[in-house]
Amino acid sequence: MTDGGQDRSAKPLRVCVDARLPTGRHGGVQQALIGIASGLSKLTDSDEEYLFLANPEHDDWLRPHLTGPCRLLHPRRGYLWRRGAAAARAVLERLPAVGIRFAVRPSDGTIERENVDVVHLPIQDAFVTSVPSIYQPHDLLHLHLPEPFSRWERGRREVVYRTHCKRSEAVIAMTSWGKRDLEDHYALPPEKVQVVPWGSVLWEYPEPTESDLGEVRAGLDLPDAFLLYPAQTWPHKNHERLLEALALISERDGVKIPLVCPGRRNRHFRSIRRRMEELGLEATTRFPGFVTPLELRALYVLGRALVFPSLFEGWGLPVCEAFSAGLPVACSTATSLPDLVSDAALTFDPGEPEEIADAVSRLWTDAELRRSLAERGQKRGDLFSFDRTARLLRAHYRRIGGRPLSEEDRILLASPPLT
């Protein structure tokens, strides 16, 4: 409990949150960091300090959400040094036999120089430090669905994840399913893996006016009504089976359902576009790419329903956003998603286009079902907020940093997981 002869509990707890992400490339992780920043910024009833480590050339997405006890912290090394070091590591990591060991990156000394007491590592590609840490490996996709990953990528992830899970004082999962998965695959003791659910960050984004809604509709060439599926175009997001389901509905029922899929288009998009063209869905399907926060919030206002056919999720942030926006949801039963949705969504097997088609068709045509699901979704979504997430994280920060726990902290830490 001492730090150079001083009782640690006598000085404010200083926490660093790793937020070194480029704008618009990491989807849900970036949105979650915005939520954490917003939630911690509202915790003005105590003296903790929260430093968000971000590269100065990529902090514009985070800066507006940091107030109160939160502020930016920039790396001690300049841009050219960091780019050079990253290039050197990329070469070293691919050396035969020994290269994988370079995947585990050391701290550059920034947080140590700032006398940080606890570091929260919510980016899976974290760094090694002597500072007590909380690590958040959002999912183990590379073990469950390894096909999209090269052998080298799988090996690299395993080295990084296992190293940080072993070194950290706590490992965070967002659901009970995720907690069990981490415990089973990495032989982690149950008390080390803590469940901290996320929430919706829609309310951190600008509220669209009627004029904004019209501009977004025109700018993205949106139909009057559409299904919404926000996701990067990774293979496990399962766009192809969703497209097959929509083609089945068109052929079987004579109903053409428009689909809008915002999100970064990565290398797998070529396969998705090819399948879309094979199925003749070009006229009713939109992939607008990365959208602004205002555009994303507008899409939740303009959409008729959200469909979420993912094959693997550690959480499912768009589902939570749809709940908060009052948008009815049809959702996959894969992995952690049943923990998240409970009875607040229409569910289907994501591996069966016929099941997806049946759920989507019901949701599209039945107004009373949409009303009922939207109501249940809002009640379910009320359980999840980044305000609660921030308070639960603060309790863990205090616990790991050796600070006294408040009565609220003890209640939060002792409560069963919401998911």
Per DSSP, the residues of 324-343 read HHT--EEEE-STTHHHHHTT
Tokens 């689909």 belong to residue: 259
Non-local CB neighbours of 13 within 8 Å, separated by 6+ positions: 47, 48, 49, 117, 118, 397, 398, 401, 403
User: Which residue numbers in the chain have pLDDT < 50?
Assistant: 1-2, 4-5
Distance from the Cα of residue 49 to its chain's centroid = 24
Determine phi and psi for 102, rounding to 5 degrees: -80, -5
Domain at 206-381: CATH code:
3.40.50.2000
pLDDT at residue number 26: 56
* Distance between CA atoms of residues 336 and 323, nearest Å: 16
Q: How far is CA 283 from CA 25, 154, 176, 253, 258, in A?
A: 27, 38, 41, 18, 8
Phi-psi region of 4 (alpha: psi -120 to 50; beta: other; left: phi over 0): left
Determine phi and psi for 41, rounding to 5 degrees: -60, -25
**Mean pLDDT, the chain, whole residue set:** 92
2-199+385-414 is classed in which CATH architecture? 3-Layer(aba) Sandwich (3.40)
Kindly state the tokens that stand for 202. 């829609």
pLDDT at residue number 25: 58
pLDDT at residue number 88: 82
* Distance between CA atoms of residues 143 and 243, nearest Å: 26
Q: Are strands 70-73 and 170-173 parallel, antiparallel or unpaired?
A: unpaired
Q: Which residues pair with 52 in a beta bridge?
A: 17, 72
* Distance between CA atoms of residues 192 and 183, nearest Å: 9
**Where do you find CATH 3.40.50.2000 in the chain?**
2-199+385-414, 206-381
pLDDT at residue number 107: 93
pTM confidence score: 0.89
pLDDT at residue number 7: 59
What is the DSSP code (8-state) at residue 405? P
Q: Which residues pair with 260 in a beta bridge?
A: 228, 286
CA-based torsion, 201, 202, 207, 213: positive or negative: positive
Say what angle helices 239-253 and 269-278 make with each other, to 10 degrees.
10
218, 286 contact by CB (below 8 A): no
* Distance between CA atoms of residues 366 and 131, nearest Å: 54
- pLDDT single digits (tens) 288-310: 998 999 999 999 999 999 999 99
* Distance between CA atoms of residues 369 and 373, nearest Å: 6
Non-local CB neighbours of 405 within 8 Å, separated by 6+ positions: 395, 398, 399, 413
* Distance between CA atoms of residues 395 and 389, nearest Å: 10
